[in-house]
Every structure is written in C-alpha cells, then in structure tokens.
C-alpha cells in the first residue's frame, strides 16, 4: 500500500512520531470540483468587490471603526445600534445549524473562507510551481539543488504576495479604499497600527495556508467540532456505499463488489482520510473523492455514485427524511433569528437622540423658577447635513419652557452634537415630578423622532414647609 494504513482512530495528517505529514492531494476533476471552483470564484469576487461598490454613498460593507459608523448595504449603524448585530450573528449561527443538519459540512467544503483561500488560491499556486502530486512528493524528497531553491522561493514568494493582498483587502473593510491607498504610500511608522494589523494578518495567512493547512479544520475549528452534535442519520454527507463496494477486488474478480481498491479517493483527499472507513471528523465534505471515484467508475463502465452525497440511512437502504424534529427546530430558530433581525434593523432610524442630565444638581430654583439642565446628544447618521427642530412632548404643565429648543439645529453629515437644553417651570406650577420626552423633527422631510422619556424634577412640596417636623402631625388624636 502506498500510504499509511488509514483508520478511524489516527489522524492521516500526523505521523506516528507526532510530526506533521505534508499531504499532497492529487488533481481531480468532475462536476463537484467544477461547482466548487465556480462558488469560490463568486465568493472571491464578492470579497474583493464589496468595498468598491457604493450604496448610499458608502461601500456596501464598511466597518468604519474610527468614526464608529458601520455601513451594511446602505444601512448605517451608529455604535449605539450595534445590538442588532447580536441577531445578525445568532441568525447566521442558526442558519449554519440548519444547513449542517440537512447537508453536513457543506459550509466547510464549499464556502468557508479558509477552504476557498486554501483550495483555490494557495493550492493552485503550488500546483502551478511544483507540478502534480507525484512531482511535489518527488521535489520534497529531492536534495537542495538550485532548481529546488528557485521553485521554493517562487512558491513562497507567491504565497506571501497572496497573503499581503488578502490582508490589504481585509483592511479595506475597516478603512476606506482611499485611506488604504494613501496609507500604502506612507512609511509604516506613519500608520503603525494598521501596518501592524496587516503584517500580523499576512503572517497568519501565510503560516496557515503554506504549512498549517488541514490541521486547522481537523483540530482547531470549533464549528468542525460542533458538527457531531448537529448531524444525524438523515444528514446528507459524503459517504461510501459499503453494500455496493464490498468486498473490494480488482475488476473481474468473482464475487467482488464495485470498489476496485484503486485508492483514488484517498489520494485526492485534502485531509488525508479514507472515506471508505465511514463518516469521520476530518471530512470537510469537499466531494473530491466523489469526483475521483466517479471518474474511475465511468472508466470501468460501472454506475457512478459508489462514493456520493447521501445520508447514513440511505446507504443502509432506507429513505432520507428531510423533515424531522431537528430540522423543524432549526428552521424555527432560523426564522426567529431572521425575523427579529429584520424587525430590529427596520427600526433603526437615520437619526438618534438621547437625553442626559447635566452634571451638578438634579434641579435648581432661582427667582421662583425651577430649572432642570440637560444635554441632548443628537446623531445624524445620514450622508448629508440635516436640520432638526426640538420640542417638548408629554403631559406638560402650563408655563413649561425650554431654552435652547427655539432655533433648528444643523448637524453635519454623519455628525454628532451635544446640545444643552434648559427646561424651566414656575415654582408655583410644579406639583410633582413628571415625565416628558423630546421630539426631534427633521426640517427637510418632516419626519419626527422621539427620545426616551425622562423626568423633570423639582423641590418636593411636602419638604417646603417645616410642618413635617412637628410630631403632632403623626400622633393620633
């Protein structure tokens, strides 16, 4: 056998002495490989393009950490709105649960950024520079000649270049493209933190994709570990049809099954397992073995699908059930997450206001006028300056006046203002603390926003006389 005996209890990518075994998956072609390339291409284009596509004057996805504004497809969130992100993240989490319960690790094999970068950028570079699996193995074993050194320098140079590009694109999600371009023209010291982030990312990407590779998926990835709890006998996974394949034997052997033990499925596996041992934690559902086996079966004139996407139940001869308590539950959770996110995101307003009581005393009494001092924080999330008119709202006693609410306030595009507001009431009119709120009207489109209610306080009427000190008040007659 050309490879280590592969089994269910040892890692195919770790040698017996604990050292890492460099895997050289063989080339494979077929409909799943083509499909994955297409998906990867779309994802890579999306990754590069998002910062370039303007929606409402901002990139489609722009996490402006510096100005604490976060733009998603035209929706602008101030830092105070970020709580809706909780529902976005849980929604995504539940959709991953849902997809996993139905189709296993389809995320890992087809769409995970780690797989996309590794399979469709770094392994392509390696294939281009070092040749196919056999050539790569030979080159690994070869002595250090000038030719090998040239190849290695070329390969790792291209790896580092790719890592630099990916890291820069990542940074462009957090600073604008112009700013990124400008930073790239300055010395590293001028933007030490951004430079450090990019260098750290580059080093991480280079280390992960040139050396660490499948170890991440097999040992470190928390989603991969959670898998076992999310799949069941009806989940569609990549699997081997034991009934049809066993016993293995060369073509033409009497009584042998369809598996000719050619080991193509093992040779093409990026995580170094033998799929014929059954469902394994290393499997990322990439379907390379499906394409490999189908090619062999077609050559032999046998029906393809000896290794295929199917559930454990269907391999046993049963029927895969897609509707089962688990999928119903996950669907429910998914819709719940999406609905709550959609609801909360639709409630995000393009302006935000809150009221803070000013430092000092809660109220002041001067010349028989009770005064409460507030600071109103106004945030304009629009991409253009807007004017707002402030007014008091609620069940207001007569004589209540607000100084500072008379003239409209203009707030710059994406701007923030702290506006003092003095609310006064004649002492005689003050009976008890009451709630009020401030309405903010956009002078351009007439839309009105409201702050949370806050309290107007003043001197407690019962404390204004000294009667309460008289014990006679409290004695029963």
Footprint on this chain of other proteins (rule: CB under 8 A):
5, 7-11, 14, 16-20, 212, 215, 219, 358-361, 364, 366-367, 369, 371, 373, 375, 403-407, 418-422
Taking the C-alpha atoms of residue 307 and residue 244, their distance in angstroms, rounded to an integer, is 10
Question: Between 9 and 146, whose beta carbon lies closer to other proteins?
Answer: 9
Torsion sign over Cα 55, 57, 59, 62: negative
User: Least CB distance from residue 9 to other proteins, whole Å?
Assistant: 5
Question: Between 16 and 395, whose beta carbon lies closer to other proteins?
Answer: 16
Task: For residue 83, give every residue at least 6 positions away whose Cβ sits within 8 Å of its Cβ, in sequence order, or none.
Answer: 344
DSSP-derived letter for residue 371 is E
User: Least CB distance from residue 291 to other proteins, whole Å?
Assistant: 26
Question: Between 44 and 422, whose beta carbon lies closer to other proteins?
Answer: 422
**What's the order of all strands across the beta sheet hosting 75-78?**
61-64, 69-72, 75-78
Taking the C-alpha atoms of residue 85 and residue 337, their distance in angstroms, rounded to an integer, is 11
Question: Between 333 and 375, whose beta carbon lies closer to other proteins?
Answer: 375
User: Least CB distance from residue 365 to other proteins, whole Å?
Assistant: 9
Taking the C-alpha atoms of residue 55 and residue 73, their distance in angstroms, rounded to an integer, is 6
**Residues 191 and 183: beta-carbon distance below 8 Å:** yes
User: Least CB distance from residue 251 to other proteins, whole Å?
Assistant: 24
User: Least CB distance from residue 371 to other proteins, whole Å?
Assistant: 6
User: Least CB distance from residue 419 to other proteins, whole Å?
Assistant: 6
User: Least CB distance from residue 295 to other proteins, whole Å?
Assistant: 26
Question: Between 10 and 67, whose beta carbon lies closer to other proteins?
Answer: 10
Tokens, residue 400: 């209540």
> Residue 415, SS3?
coil
User: Least CB distance from residue 429 to other proteins, whole Å?
Assistant: 16
Before 247, cis peptide (omega within 30)? yes
Taking the C-alpha atoms of residue 235 and residue 313, their distance in angstroms, rounded to an integer, is 9
Taking the C-alpha atoms of residue 330 and residue 100, their distance in angstroms, rounded to an integer, is 10
Question: Between 161 and 358, whose beta carbon lies closer to other proteins?
Answer: 358
**Can you say how many angstroms the Cα of residue 418 is from the centroid of all Cα atoms in its chain?**
33
Taking the C-alpha atoms of residue 223 and residue 238, their distance in angstroms, rounded to an integer, is 18
Tokens, residue 394: 């609620």
Task: For residue 68, give every residue at least 6 positions away whose Cβ sits within 8 Å of its Cβ, in sequence order, or none.
Answer: 78, 79
Taking the C-alpha atoms of residue 81 and residue 353, their distance in angstroms, rounded to an integer, is 12
Task: For residue 27, give every residue at least 6 positions away whose Cβ sits within 8 Å of its Cβ, in sequence order, or none.
Answer: 127, 132, 133, 268
**Residues 380 and 390: beta-carbon distance below 8 Å:** no
User: Least CB distance from residue 176 to other proteins, whole Å?
Assistant: 26
**Residues 458 and 425: beta-carbon distance below 8 Å:** yes
Question: Between 95 and 215, whose beta carbon lies closer to other proteins?
Answer: 215
Question: Between 12 and 30, whose beta carbon lies closer to other proteins?
Answer: 12
Question: Between 406 and 467, whose beta carbon lies closer to other proteins?
Answer: 406
Taking the C-alpha atoms of residue 7 and residue 200, their distance in angstroms, rounded to an integer, is 37
Question: Between 49 and 365, whose beta carbon lies closer to other proteins?
Answer: 365
User: Least CB distance from residue 369 to other proteins, whole Å?
Assistant: 7
């Amino acid at each position: 056998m050309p490879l280590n005996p592969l089994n269910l209890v040892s890692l195919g990518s770790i040698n017996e002495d604990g050292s890492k075994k460099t895997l050289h998956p063989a080339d494979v072609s077929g409909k799943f490989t083509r499909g994955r390339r297409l998906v990867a291409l779309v994802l890579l284009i999306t990754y590069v393009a998002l910062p370039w596509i303007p929606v409402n004057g901002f990139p489609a996805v722009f996490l402006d950490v510096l100005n604490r504004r976060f733009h998603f497809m035209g929706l602008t969130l101030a830092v105070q709105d970020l709580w809706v992100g909780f529902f976005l993240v849980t929604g995504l989490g539940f959709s991953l649960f849902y997809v996993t319960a139905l189709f296993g690790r389809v995320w890992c094999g087809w769409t995970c950024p780690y797989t996309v970068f590794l399979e469709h950028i770094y392994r392509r570079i390696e294939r281009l520079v070092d040749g196919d699996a056999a050539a790569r193995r030979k080159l690994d074993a070869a002595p250090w000649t000038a030719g090998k050194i040239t190849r290695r320098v070329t390969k790792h140079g291209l790896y580092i270049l790719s890592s630099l590009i990916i890291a820069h694109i990542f940074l462009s999600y957090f600073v604008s493209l112009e700013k990124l371009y400008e930073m790239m023209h300055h010395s590293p010291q001028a933007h030490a933190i951004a430079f450090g982030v990019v260098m750290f990312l580059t080093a991480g990407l280079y280390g992960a994709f040139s050396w660490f590779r499948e170890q991440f998926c097999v040992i470190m990835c928390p989603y991969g570990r959670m898998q076992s709890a999310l799949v069941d006998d009806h989940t569609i996974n990549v699997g081997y049809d034991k009934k049809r394949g066993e016993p293995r034997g060369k073509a033409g052997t009497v009584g042998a099954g369809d598996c000719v033990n050619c080991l193509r499925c093992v040779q093409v596996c990026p995580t170094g397992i033998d799929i014929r041992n059954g469902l394994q934690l290393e499997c990322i559902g990439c379907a390379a073995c499906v394409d490999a086996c189908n090619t062999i079966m077609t050559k032999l004139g046998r029906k393809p699908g000896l290794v295929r996407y199917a559930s454990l139940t269907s391999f046993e001869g049963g029927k895969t059930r897609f509707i089962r308590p688990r999928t119903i539950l996950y669907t429910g959770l998914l819709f719940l997450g999406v609905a709550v996110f959609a609801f909360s995101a639709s409630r995000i307003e393009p302006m935000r206001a809150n009221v803070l009581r000013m430092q000092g005393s809660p109220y002041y009494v001067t010349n028989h006028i009770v005064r409460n001092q507030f600071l109103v924080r106004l945030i304009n999330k629009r991409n253009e300056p807007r004017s707002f008119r402030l007014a008091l709202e609620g069940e207001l006693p007569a004589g209540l006046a607000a100084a500072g609410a008379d003239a409209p306030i203009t707030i710059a595009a994406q701007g923030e203002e702290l506006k003092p507001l003095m609310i006064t009431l004649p002492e005689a009119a003050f009976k008890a603390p009451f709630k009020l709120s401030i309405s903010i009207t956009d002078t351009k489109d007439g839309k009105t926003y409201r702050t949370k209610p806050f309290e107007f306080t003043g001197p407690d009427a019962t404390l204004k006389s000294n009667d309460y000190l008289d014990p006679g008040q409290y004695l029963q007659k």
